[in-house]
Amino acid sequence: MGAALLASWPWDNLGFYKYLLYGPLVGKAVASRAWEAASPDRWILLLLLLFGLRALTYQLWSSYSNMLFATRRRRVVRDGVDFHQIDKEWDWDNFLILHVLMAATALYAFPSLRHLPLWPVDARGLAITALVHAAATEPLAYAAHRAFHGGRLYARYHSLHHSTRVPQPFTAGLATPLEHMVLGSLMALPLAAACAAGSGSVALAFAYVLGFDFLRAMGHCNIEVVPNSLFQAVPVLRYLIYTPTYHAIHHTKKEANFCLFMPLFDLLGGTIDPQSWEMHKKMSAGVDEVPDFVFLAHVVDVMQSLHVPFVLRTFASTPFSVQLFLLPMWPFAFLVMLAMWVWSKTFVISCYNLRGRLHQIWAVPRYGFQYFLPFAKDGINKQIELAILRADKMGVKVLSLAALNKNEALNGGGTLFVNKHPDLRVRVVHGNTLTAAVILNEIPKGTAEVFLTGATSKLGRAIALYLCKKRVRVMMMTLSTERFQKIQKEAPAEFQQYLVQVTKYPSAQHCRTWIVGKWLSPREQRWAPPGTHFHQFVVPPIFGFRRDCTYGKLAAMRLPKDVQGLGACEYSLERGAVHACHAGGVVHFLEGYTHHEVGAIDVDRIDVVWEAALKHGLQPA
Ligand SMILES: [Zn+2]
Ligand SMILES: [Zn+2]
């Protein structure tokens, strides 16, 4: 296509350093003490404030758009926002840098504008702004937009804006510099007119610009927020204000609904999509959607609670790690935790599609530490039970319990719920059969001996029984001879000799394969010989103190390559990977298994689910 003029951003390669472009303005504002009322450079401070608020407007709409628990019934395009789109829209705020440069240039060219009064916003100023917006900005934007849909201009410029699947507030920023220059100039017209008429003020400029951004972000938010009853009551309104549905139709169909904010111009130009009103009615009423599969997660801790698409979409699209910018948000997130403890129920966090079926991730509103408080136990089980019953009523096929939600001590790996509600149609799954399979398949062929901690837990027992049948000697670390013997007796007589009870870490000082199901202190890790690999199924994972050893991550699998609309990382896992228990639930659903997978692991099924997972395209992560 060649490099078309103003089709890409000159600071594309600067990455985060593009924000240094604000530097000269910030520097000048600081140098001239712009916050003092008498400063001649106060306009710079006001300009920077305006652009901060502009960015915030888009961010708040993005957060709202991603609050699936509140908005999913009114989603216009029903796909999830995938990593590809998030990356493409990563630099959505480039246009704000451009607009700040344009505004600063204008303010340098016309010094009188720098001394606009802060107030008032009078009726005359508002009337002029509204009039010029409707008489000039709207029709010119409409004409420009239609022109940008013509052959060459579309290919070189506007196709970018249409290149992502699901309209999002940040999609409003996804356009070429040329388009944003046109838009910026059109935004300036009403304000220039008001100033020329002597009615300009800083407050009027803020109101118009932020109102403009509000409407642009709203039109791209993909959630129908304009009630149909409003159009029923005042029919003419539908030509004065567009809706997210209206603009979503433009994004998908491309040959109708071109207007900026006022469908009146599509009416005049004969370009209204005939289904616009019907579809708006439907979306505003809301459409239910039933997931086939639900992964019932919980919050890990206060920091991790910020790792969700409705806080920061980009942050949630990368593996979780503690970041400096999270610190200022911590107190707020802490209050949210307290509030949720008092009043909340399980809610939808994110979703994706696999082979035409909707999968959702729900979160029990409880944090990791709460699972270790004895008095919180009943409350947590009540939350999980309500979520299972809700899923059952909705028609969910499989619900898989994440991490601590299937804790043995809490509810017997889900047994509690299945026994209490024998008529459940939804299948409750702990997914640990696949977790065991992933861990076992990580152990190199030919391993003769392993050391196992957490040996009498659900996973420990299954791993021990599986390995002994492969004639691998398993040193089971447990102080309880009774529990050890119970497991040993489950093994066929000829393999029982491969299960050995050990009670002290020094017993493992010559074993290079440690399978860790229980927290290990640095002192305990010291007993491992150099070169040991620590496999893990302990939550939370152990700290890797030993430089001369290697540490495995929690068992995880990559979802099949044809997964759609996946745009959030599951905790610290890489993009596209999910914890093995999540994957186990997916396999349970894809295979159409009719049993609940709760309580003890059926050792004979470990190879069965592993083969099934591979068959469906899941891969070890
Ligand atoms: Zn658009
Ligand atoms: Zn377009």
Q: How many residues are present in the chain?
A: 621
Residue 116 confidence class, pLDDT cut points 50, 70, 90: confident
Closest CA relative to residue 216, chosen from 253, 179, 191, 178:
179
Residue 40 confidence class, pLDDT cut points 50, 70, 90: confident
197-223 pLDDT, tens digit per residue, is: 999 999 999 999 999 999 999 999 999
pLDDT of residue 13: 87
Ligand 1 centroid to Cα of residue 175, in Å, is: 9
What distance in Å separates the CA atoms of residue 94 and residue 90, rounded to the nearest whole number? 10
Instruction: Indicate if the pLDDT at residue 513 is higher than 80.
Output: yes
Instruction: Indicate if the pLDDT at residue 276 is higher than 60.
Output: yes
- Mean pLDDT on 146-157: 94
pLDDT of residue 3: 67
Ligand number with the minimum distance to the CA of 146: 2
Ligand number with the minimum distance to the CA of 149: 2
What distance in Å separates the CA atoms of residue 516 and residue 544, rounded to the nearest whole number? 12
Ligand number with the minimum distance to the CA of 248: 1
Instruction: Indicate if the pLDDT at residue 437 is higher than 80.
Output: yes
Instruction: Indicate if the pLDDT at residue 554 is higher than 90.
Output: no
Q: Which fold has domain 434-554?
A: Rossmann fold (3.40.50)
Domain ranges of the chain: 17-285, 293-429+558-620, 434-554
- 616: Cβ–Cβ under 8 A, 6 or more apart, which residues? 560, 586, 587, 590, 591
Ligand number with the minimum distance to the CA of 215: 1
Ligand 1 centroid to Cα of residue 361, in Å, is: 29
- 450: Cβ–Cβ under 8 A, 6 or more apart, which residues? 443, 467, 472, 473, 474, 475, 511, 513, 514, 515
Instruction: Indicate if the pLDDT at residue 39 is higher than 90.
Output: no
Q: What does the mean pLDDT of the chain come to? A: 95
In the chain, % of residues over pLDDT 90: 89
Instruction: Supply the DSSP symbol for 305.
Output: G
- Mean pLDDT on 345-369: 96
Ligand 1 centroid to Cα of residue 173, in Å, is: 9
Does residue 412 sit in helix, strand or coil?
A: coil
374-383 pLDDT, tens digit per residue, is: 999 999 999 9
Ligand 2 centroid to Cα of residue 312, in Å, is: 26
pLDDT of residue 539: 78
Task: Find the range with the poorest average confidence among 26-40, 330-344, 563-577.
Answer: 26-40
Ligand 2 centroid to Cα of residue 214, in Å, is: 19
What distance in Å separates the CA atoms of residue 491 and residue 495, rounded to the nearest whole number? 6
557-598 pLDDT, tens digit per residue, is: 999 999 999 999 999 999 999 999 999 999 999 999 999 999
Instruction: Indicate if the pLDDT at residue 431 is higher than 50.
Output: yes
Ligand 1 centroid to Cα of residue 256, in Å, is: 12
pLDDT of residue 38: 77
Ligand number with the minimum distance to the CA of 153: 2
pLDDT of residue 1: 44
Q: Sort strands 499-502 and 473-477 into parallel, antiparallel or unpaired.
A: parallel
pLDDT of residue 256: 96
Ligand number with the minimum distance to the CA of 169: 1
- pTM value is 0.93
Q: What is the 3-state secondary structure (H, E, C) of 580-602?
A: HHHHHHHHHHHHCCCCCECCCCC
